[in-house]
Homo-oligomer: A and B are copies of this chain.
């Protein structure tokens, strides 16, 4: 609360955060991880709407990402061998848990988009998409999606089948991972971290500032690689270039944006350690724009991939083509939003 006070001291008057503050941050994130893990085990497997397990899974990913980010940004202040073996394990945990959520979010993005493109109400679809446990069989789109064309309805049913199946697989994989010896080893190491952070010698009193500043510099460097002048010109039609390319690796143009998203997250997490410089107000909206960019890019790829399903009708393929282009324009819109956010220097 002190940081919100209007007469709060200027940054130079606050004691600069040190390795001790980093250790405190890591301990609290490790505690969060263990609490989320307990909660996840208590709420069951979480498939098909157990809200508690979904929240616990999100909290697990959240703390795993933060610990991993701190090990990366402040590696010089930590036992390097420990940090280097810990990070890939945490990335495996958060990556495995994120997959199920990603498949569900993709469906939640694509079905309403299909309805928007058909001029019908997206609320009705969300209800359909969320109703009960995942259905792996074909839906009966004619009745559920009243005002859709045959093509849009079939495209929706195809996407629902694909993504529900993918979500089920991701859920099984997550459950399997959480029961594995590998995960138990990670959990044991996080439990140790909650009480004892392996700082490097003399790191305890070393200032975090230079390492946090380096993370900020890496963000600035990554942003500098983005085509922001183009992105700031509305309707530049860049995101859909190569939309029909025969190149099997689609949209290499997205790479730098995905990279900025990751680097921005590292910077943002580094600023969460109490006592570090006040957070740049652009970070949160910029991060949101980049997440939307990533989600739309992946949704567009899913529509393109679904269109390669054998024996679909031309009407289904046409609807998937419209949907793909729609999501690529969402990609372009997200870049525009990022540019608009970023150009306001704080």
Contacts and interface: CB of A to CB of B under 8 A. Distances in A.
A326 B116 contact: no
Interface stretch (A90-98, A193-201, A213-221, A315-323): A315-323
A346 interface: no
A contact patch SS: helix
Contacts of A242: 117-119
Contacts of A66: none
B117 A240 contact: yes
A333 B238 CA distance: 13
Give this chain's copy count: 2
- Chain A, interface size: which category? 35 or more
Nearest to A114: B244
Given A235-B234, A325-B325, A326-B325, A246 B319 contact: no
Contact of A118 (B148, B235, B245): B245
A152 B320 CA distance: 15
A118 B118 CA distance: 26
Nearest to A234: B234
A241 interface: yes
Contacts of A330: 235, 237
Nearest to A313: B314
Contacts of A320: 318, 321
Contact of A119 (B117, B247, B336): B247
A336 to B, nearest CB: 6
A72 B242 CA distance: 47
Interface in A264-285: none
Among the interface residues A235, A242, A247, A324, which one has the most CB atoms of the partner chain B within 10 A?
A: A235
Contacts of A134: none
B244 A118 contact: yes
B244 A149 contact: yes
Nearest to A236: B333
Contacts of A240: 117, 322, 326, 329
A242 B152 CA distance: 11
A332 interface: yes
Nearest to A115: B244
Given A152-B244, A237-B329, A325-B326, 8 more contacts: A116-B237, A119-B247, A149-B245, A235-B333, A307-B315, A313-B314, A315-B317, A321-B322
Contact of A324 (B147, B148, B315, B322): B322
Residue of A151, A318, A330 contacting most chain B CB atoms (<10 Å): A318
Contact of A329 (B114, B118, B318, B329): B329
A224 interface: no
Contacts of A329: 235, 237, 240, 325, 329
Interface string A85-127: 0000000000000000000000000000010111100000000
Contacts of A245: 117-119, 147, 149
